[in-house]
Amino acid sequence: MPVSLCGTWDMVSNVNFDGLMITLGIGVYTRKIALKLKHRKVIEKVGDVYVIKTLSTFRNYTVSFRVDEEFEEFTKGLDDRHCKSLVTWQGNKLVCAQEGEKKNRGWTHWVEDDKLHLEVYCEDQVCKQVFKRVA
C-alpha cells in the first residue's frame, strides 16, 4: 500500500519550470511572474475521486478525476488546452497521461522521504518539483 499523497504540501524546489512553460507556449511576461511562485498542492480524496489543487498568489488550478477513468481536462489558467487525460497507479507512483495537441505530455506524483515529488513533462522538457508537508 503506497504512502498517501493526500494533504497540504508547499513547494521547496522547482527545476526547469521555465523550459516546461516555453514548450507549452507561455509568453515571457507570464513566465517571469510564474517563475517566482511557490506552489501549494492540496490533495484530497473524496470517495474514489481525487481532487488536486495547485494554489499560488497568481493563479490556481484544480483537477479532479477517478483513477483508471479517462476524463476531459481543460488546463484553464495554465496553457488553456484541452486534453484527454488518464491517471493510473504505476507501483507507488500516480501517473497522468495527457493526450492532446502536445506530444508526450503528463505528470507523475509520488511520496519519497516525507516529500511529495512531481515531474511534469511535455515534449522533451521535464520540470521537477518537490514539496514538503505542511498539513
Is residue 87 at the binding interface for ligand 1AG, with CB under 6 A as the rule? no
Binding mask 99-118 for ligand 1AG (x = CB under 6 A): --------x----------x
Is residue 24 at the binding interface for ligand 1AG, with CB under 6 A as the rule? yes
From candidates 51, 59, 100, 115, binder to ligand 1AG by CB under 6 A: 59
The rounded distance, in Å, linking the Cα atoms of 13 and 133 is 13
DSSP H helices, 1-135, are 17-23, 28-35
From candidates 8, 16, 60, 108, binder to ligand 1AG by CB under 6 A: 60
Residue by residue, DSSP assigns 24-80 as: TT--HHHHHHHHT---EEEEEEETTEEEEEEE-SS--EEEEEETT--EEEE-TTTT-
Binding site for ligand 1AG (CB under 6 A): 20-21, 24, 26, 30, 34, 37, 39, 41, 52, 54, 56, 58-61, 63, 78-79, 107, 118, 120
